[in-house]
Amino acid sequence: MTDPLGLIGAGGAGRMQPGSIASNNSPTGPKAQQGPKFAQILREQLSEVNAVQQDATKAVEDLMTGKRDDLEGVILATEKADTAFRMLQTMRNKVMTAYEEVKQIRV
């Protein structure tokens, strides 16, 4: 597939920079303040979900070995981990759906 606008290249000179087409008065222009990157937010969320799942695993192990005796706390930890994982999975599915829609766009 050809790249007539130079938008697909990996870091080349023809790669479009954010806000390069927008005017200076638009909110996406060069003067706009940049927030955190999507990849950075995604990594943070992944590590939070991972930490919650590790906490739930440790709570179950502690319950089985007798180091912990509060069944309600273990159930709460596992439900919290399950909910966090389901939310992450839903986010992944929505991103994949958006990616599939973008792939279908004809230029």
Contact 59, 78 (CB under 8 A): yes
Task: Say if residue 42 is in the same domain as residue 89.
Answer: yes
The range of the structural domain enclosing residue 3 comes to 1-34
- Compute CA distances 98 → 11, 40, 74, 104, whole Å: 23, 19, 36, 10
Q: Are residues 58 and 95 in the same domain?
A: yes
Dist. CA 74–CA 17, nearest whole Å: 48
Specify the pLDDT at position 29: 56
For the chain, the domain total comes to: 2
Same domain, 66 and 96: yes
Q: pLDDT for 5-31, tens place per residue?
A: 455 554 444 444 555 444 455 555 555
Question: Which pLDDT tens digit goes with each residue over 56-100?
Answer: 999 999 999 999 899 999 999 999 999 999 999 999 999 999 999
pLDDT at 104: 93
User: To which residue do tokens 């943070």 refer?
Assistant: 44
- The DSSP symbol for 30 reads T
pLDDT score, position 42: 87
